[in-house]
Amino acid sequence: MTKKCEGGAIDFNNRARITVRRQLRGDANDRHQRLQPPPARSVFGQHAFSFRVVQPWNDLPPELKDCTVAEFPSLFKKHLWQVYSECDQ
């Protein structure tokens, strides 16, 4: 859903509460700004979509963030296979 929001495929402002995090040293080579979750004062707030999506989105490689909405599902599946095959070794 986040990729659809970022790509403009659906009309939902997923960044209404999500802010852009300040750039850190490790982020210098990454042209994608890292996101920061909104403040959550309760467990209920930590289960909100806008809070839960930030860390997985920040962990995605740049080629997944740059691809089109149509390409994303197949590229994401390939990425998951690579991640899980590395864990098994």
Query: What pLDDT, in 10s, does the model give residues 10-55?
Result: 877 767 777 777 655 555 555 777 888 888 889 988 888 888 888 9
Residue 34's contacts (CB-CB under 8 Å, 6 or more residues apart) are 20, 21, 23, 24, 27, 58
CB 24 within 8 Å of CB 6? no
What are the sequence ranges of the domains in the chain? 2-88
Residue type, 44: F
Phi and psi at 48, nearest 5°, equal -70, 150
pLDDT confidence of 3, banded at 50, 70, 90?
Answer: confident
Terminal CA-to-CA distance of the chain, rounded, Å?
Answer: 31
Which pLDDT belongs to residue 87?
74
Identify which of 44-48, 57-61, 75-79, 83-87 has the greatest average pLDDT.
75-79
